[in-house]
Structure 1
Amino acid sequence: MVLGQPPYFGLDLNTPLPLSEELTKRLRMADESGYDLFSVMDHPYAGDRHEAYAALGYALGHTRRISGYVGVTNLPLRPAPVLARTVAALSALSGGRFVLGLGSGGIWDRIAQFGAQRLSPGDAVTAFEEAITLIGKLTGGGAAPVTFDGRFYQVTKAMPAPVPTPKIWTGANGPRALAITGRLTDGWIPSFGADWLSERYRTSRPLVDRAAQEAGRHPSDVISYFNFGGALVDHDLPATRDAEGRWQGGSTRQWIEELTGAVLEHGAGGFNTQVANAAGEADLDTARRFADEVIPAVRAAVTAH
């Protein structure tokens, strides 16, 4: 099913080699419960993990309702014209259950191990903007062939895929990338696990909003989608955040209160969750409990407001 209206709830999937029965069970549970999305990370230089887009294709093929995304795609290792074809295929084969997460590249020492050209921060952002533009041109079903002559990507008379352009969410970090996110994309995933109460979010989100408005868009056209983890325990905790203000977790009631407030008071568009039990384990039972107890209650509270 194509994503409906936010807030969205995502389940972070761990994908270590080999494919475990636990992973398959998590996929089945997420598809049958209240989760909207699952996510996989893109670190192809890590030999002990499944390649992200192969894992994503497997997961989409083994689910019927839930959408998926790579959070976020390691663009320097995936040339944009070919990535556009991958995106189109996954979206078409899954019935539109795909969101494109994009990043400009972060761990350059590891990226360079795979032979990619090391880019300056400014050049990486330029390539990032070109990629977003080109992927939009190579999807969407236009009738005219695409020619694109950028600094980093060149395409000559390539036919666009007859598939709608998927939602694009970025892991932007820095003024230029944040402005590109506001002008051209559908969502922003704050980096380093920053949430709605963090200084990073308070100083960065206005740059997204301003760029969206200057492009004739409404800031709400670009959702904030947070990586947000913590413990789900049986009793209220005396403090749900640590001394640095980072969320630690809490009871079902405390989770519901926190996430409802994030949506209603801070405009949160969704949460990619990795919820652990009291022992710190992100196990299947706790993920299912979160889907049963927290997600529907937050949805109901937001709808009732």
Structure 2
Amino acid sequence: MTYFGIGVSTAVTAVPDTLELAVRADRGGLDLITVSDHPYHADRLDAYAELGVLLGKTERISGLVSVTNLPTRPASMLARTVTSLSALTGGRIVLGMGVGGLWDDIARLGFTKLTPGQAVRAFEEGIQLVKMLGGGGDPVTFDGEFYQVTDLAPAAVAMPPVWTGSVGPKSLSVTGRVADGWMPGHAADWLSERYRTSRPLIDKAAVDAGRDPAEVATVYNFPGRITAEPLARTRTDDGRWIGGSPDQWIEELTGAVLEHAAAGFVLFGPGGSTPDAVATARLAEEIVPAVREAVG
């Protein structure tokens, strides 16, 4: 499956527009709606509270926190949250997980600052533990460096796929060992230097762990304009995607799937802004059907 979605605002002041945009995306047949997770900002909505409401307002589209700020959401409780949302929505959720980065902000919430090495080890433990806490089975006992649970029954609901936002070499290796998908950081795409240097680390770690690297999908946050008319150039001098007409988007995304094994795209506006209703409609009504047809 190739995923197509949009990223929406978490701003408290944008709530009416966000709710309307989510419904538009759902009715338009898109696959994903994503929100970011920055709980230390008072003017931002809690990511999982927002996602729960968005999924309640929609019928078919899946939700993703891109990506969960793991240091502020202990893995065992995160597992309960995600399996609960899956049960409530008929499985319409993907679990995004991140190492955490804004440690001064995280500390202001009352959580312990970790060193980079500790954060990556906690990240790997967190993914392992949440995967153990879905799908039923025997009670789980986990005695890790950062997470401990004792005789904890897994939820009967299956754990959804886990996608990461890994950036550094060590966290990329974690993604290869234990995750199901990767969303390259800084909106890097398949032509970027970041992708060319990062994806091999995931693939090597997957192979070393006895996995097929193809088990780790790559889904891109992809900002750009969708214009009525073609643009003279669709990328900047340094290779960043600018955007273009629906036909130019169709050509670009089709090539990404067929030539670079892209598994999905989440649309943002220029500079990472929330796409407007016109862009969302063009994506859903013109671009996605054509790409789906082209890639089979």
Q: Is the 8 A contact 2:267 2:275 kept in 1?
A: no
1:241 and 2:210 matched: no
Q: Which residue of 1 aligns with 2:294?
A: 301
Q: Which residue of 2 aligns with 1:67?
A: 62
Q: Which residue of 1 aligns with 2:32?
A: 37
Task: Report deviation, 1:233.
Answer: 0.9
Choose the corresponding residue for 1:111, options 106, 110, 125.
Answer: 106
C-alpha distance in 1 between matches for 2:142 and 2:274:
48
Query: Could you say what secondary structure the match of 1:20 adopts?
Result: helix
TM-score using structure 2 length:
0.96
Q: Which residue of 2 aligns with 1:156?
A: 150
Task: Report deviation, 1:182.
Answer: 1.2
Choose the corresponding residue for 1:222, options 213, 216, 239.
Answer: 216
Counterpart of 1:191, as a letter, is: G
C-alpha distance in 2 between matches for 1:218 and 1:146:
27
C-alpha distance in 2 between matches for 1:150 and 1:94:
31
Q: Which runs of 5+ in 1 are unaligned?
A: none
Q: Is the 8 A contact 2:222 2:268 kept in 1?
A: yes
1:124 and 2:115 matched: no
C-alpha distance in 1 between matches for 2:159 and 2:73:
18
Counterpart of 1:122, as a letter, is: G
Sequence identity (%): 55
C-alpha distance in 2 between matches for 1:20 and 1:108:
27
Matches within 5 A, 1:139-288: 139-142=134-137, 144-275=138-269, 282-288=275-281
C-alpha distance in 1 between matches for 2:257 and 2:33:
20
Q: Which runs of 5+ in 2 are unaligned?
A: none
Task: Report deviation, 1:34.
Answer: 2.7
TM-score using structure 1 length:
0.93
Task: Report deviation, 1:216.
Answer: 2.5
Choose the corresponding residue for 2:285, options 262, 272, 292.
Answer: 292
Query: Could you say what secondary structure the match of 1:35 adopts?
Result: coil
Q: Is the 8 A contact 1:34 1:296 kept in 2?
A: no
Counterpart of 1:295, as a letter, is: V
Cα 1:281–1:183 shift into 2, 3 Å? closer
Q: Is the 8 A contact 2:75 2:126 kept in 1?
A: yes
C-alpha distance in 2 between matches for 1:274 and 1:113:
29
Deviations 1:58-109 (A, max 9, x none): 1111111000010000000011111111111011111111100000101112
Counterpart of 1:152, as a letter, is: F
Deviating 4+ runs (over 6 angstroms): none
Q: Which residue of 1 aligns with 2:76?
A: 81
Cα 1:153–1:215 shift into 2, 3 Å? same
C-alpha distance in 2 between matches for 1:147 and 1:282:
44
Task: Report deviation, 1:117.
Answer: 0.8
Q: Which residue of 1 aligns with 2:42?
A: 47
Counterpart of 1:196, as a letter, is: W
Counterpart of 1:92, as a letter, is: A
1:90 and 2:82 matched: no
Q: Is the 8 A contact 1:275 1:287 kept in 2?
A: no
How many corresponding residue pairs? 294
Task: Report deviation, 1:209.
Answer: 1.2
Counterpart of 1:39, as a letter, is: T
Query: Could you say what secondary structure the match of 1:24 adopts?
Result: helix
Q: Which residue of 1 aligns with 2:10?
A: 15
Query: Could you say what secondary structure the match of 2:234 adopts?
Result: coil
Q: Is the 8 A contact 1:275 1:290 kept in 2?
A: no
Deviations 1:154-197 (A, max 9, x none): 11111111111110000111222111111211100101111100
Task: Report deviation, 1:281.
Answer: 7.8
Task: Report deviation, 1:15.
Answer: 2.4
Question: How big is the alpha-carbon RMSD for the aligned residues of Structure 1 and Structure 2?
Answer: 1.3
Deviations 1:238-272 (A, max 9, x none): 11111211001111111111111111111111011
